A = this chain, B = another copy of it.
Amino acid sequence: MPEFGLTEPRIRGRPRGFEAVDAIQAATRLFWAVGYVAASVDQLCKTMQMPRATLYSAFGGKERLFLAAIDHYAKTRLVPLAAALGPKGTLAQDLADFFDHAVVLATQDATTPGCLISCVLSDAAGANPIFRAELDSRYAALEHQIAVRLRMSQDAMPTPPEVLAVLLASVARGLMLRARSGATTANLQPVAAAAAQVFGQPSGV
């Protein structure tokens, strides 16, 4: 079973005519912009600047390329987002950073509004059990990181951290969805601030 991806550099044979990181980034952006099914292999090859055969030999097809794009998105976009949780300051401050970061991620580029996972993978999850499992594990991973951060807080919480973590993640995902409909950074930043204020007040939850 071949390992697909762009990690191992090839030594022998004709060298590749494309930049590995540029290619996966371009694929990620196309999926993000138009969705999984709507992004054709033709379009993908064009934006990735590689022939079809190379896409298949390097990534194993459209489905696995999409999973690679999800992974690239998580590493480059969600890791920084989760890092905003710190802990660097108070829970309220860290949550403010977190929600604000989410808004910026979802609104900073009008050609890719919203979130690749919450707006695109969530649709694809309907028809494909592999994608549904991927969606579930990506969601669980973020919630776990939030729960860890919550447990660091000194506040005694009536709500279990695991439950509160799902709620906080849901707020962030809801903001992503609103960005998909065209809401701007300016539209959503007050909402993010309100969320941080609600959930950040000591013993509030």
A-side interface residues toward B, CB under 8 Å? 32-38, 113-114, 118-120, 122-127, 132-133, 135-136, 139, 158-160, 163-164, 166-167, 169-175, 177-178, 180-183, 188, 190-191, 194-195, 197-199, 201, 204-205
A120 vs B177: C-alpha distance when bound (angstroms): 11
Does A205 contact B194, Cβ atoms closer than 8 Å? yes
Inter-chain CA distance A114–B191, complex, in Å, is 23
User: Do residues A123 and B169 form an inter-chain contact, with CB atoms below 8 A?
Assistant: no
Contacts of A37 in B (CB 8 A): 35, 37-38
- A181/B132 contact (C-beta < 8 A), A123-B123, A173-B174, A191-B166 known: yes
- Tell whether, in the assembled complex, residue B35 and residue A180 are in contact, meaning their CB atoms are under 8 Å apart: no
User: Which residues of chain B are near A139, meaning CB under 8 Å?
Assistant: 177-178, 181
Which 7 interchain pairs have the tightest Cβ spacing?
A: A170-B174, A123-B123, A37-B37, A136-B181, A34-B127, A174-B174, A173-B174
Additional A-B contacts beyond A119-B125, A198-B204 (19; CB < 8 A): A34-B126, A34-B127, A35-B127, A38-B126, A38-B127, A113-B126, A120-B123, A122-B122, A122-B181, A133-B182, A139-B181, A160-B190, A170-B174, A170-B175, A170-B195, A171-B171, A173-B173, A174-B174, A174-B177
